[in-house]
Amino acid sequence: MATTQRQRDKVFALVRDSLEPLDAPVVARTLGIHLTTARFHLNSLIEAGLVEGVLLPSETVGRPRKGYVAVGSDPTAPVMAALLAQLGDTAEARRAKATAAGRIWADTLIGPGADAPDLPDPVTVVTTTLTRLGFQVSSTMSAFGTHEIRMCDCPLRRIARDAPEIVIGVQQGMIERVLERYSPALASQYGVEVRPDAENGDCGVTLRLVGRTSPTAR
């Protein structure tokens, strides 16, 4: 029973995070499960009110295919995917523009108060900002001048599935800019690394603040 639920959760996560409707064969291939099993889980999700069916154009002559989308999913997702594709022809170009966008995002936040310390704790600065923006911080760890902040439930996960380089760029630019705004000295002490982990679902991003004078700095 527990195995069935975990499998169903994976099916739902796949449909929920997709930028376009998915049909049962795509779900089956992506998750490595039998087509009948994929349809069983999709129908169960429909009965639970989590997923709804839509008609998709047929890839051959015949009846339209049945696709699946999460209930309440954004109907503008295909347009968003097209817009994101315009950021560049390569992953490097898209990431660079996304990094600039992340810095602009950080500038929409209210800055620190006048009583903010000259050199605030970097972990507190970053985790507070991430929480305000809808990220869920699951754990933090500090050792030898490096701070690791693990995030769950990223609000950008729908984009991350098909364009991870864009989300990496946004997160990196946003954190770099937040550190600069809180304290130029703080920003000069740390480089920002973003490490996604596709094997762990929503809990899949680790931010590393690496001391620039640390032997591990790159």
| Measured distance CA(90)–CA(92) in Å, rounded | 5
* Predicted TM-score (pTM) of this structure: 0.63
Digit-coded pLDDT (tens) for 2-34: 788 889 999 998 998 887 889 999 999 999 999
| Measured distance CA(163)–CA(150) in Å, rounded | 20
User: Which segments within 26-116 are labelled E, that is strand?
Assistant: 51-56, 65-70
Query: Residue 111 — very low, low, confident or very high, per pLDDT cuts 50/70/90?
Result: low
Domains of the chain and any CATH numbers: 2-70 (1.10.10.10), 95-211 (3.30.1380.20)
| Measured distance CA(55)–CA(34) in Å, rounded | 22
What mean pLDDT, rounded, does the chain reach?
Answer: 83
- Residues 99, 173: contact at Cβ < 8 Å? yes
- Residues 103, 178: contact at Cβ < 8 Å? no
Digit-coded pLDDT (tens) for 144-187: 889 999 887 677 777 776 788 998 999 999 999 999 988 888 88
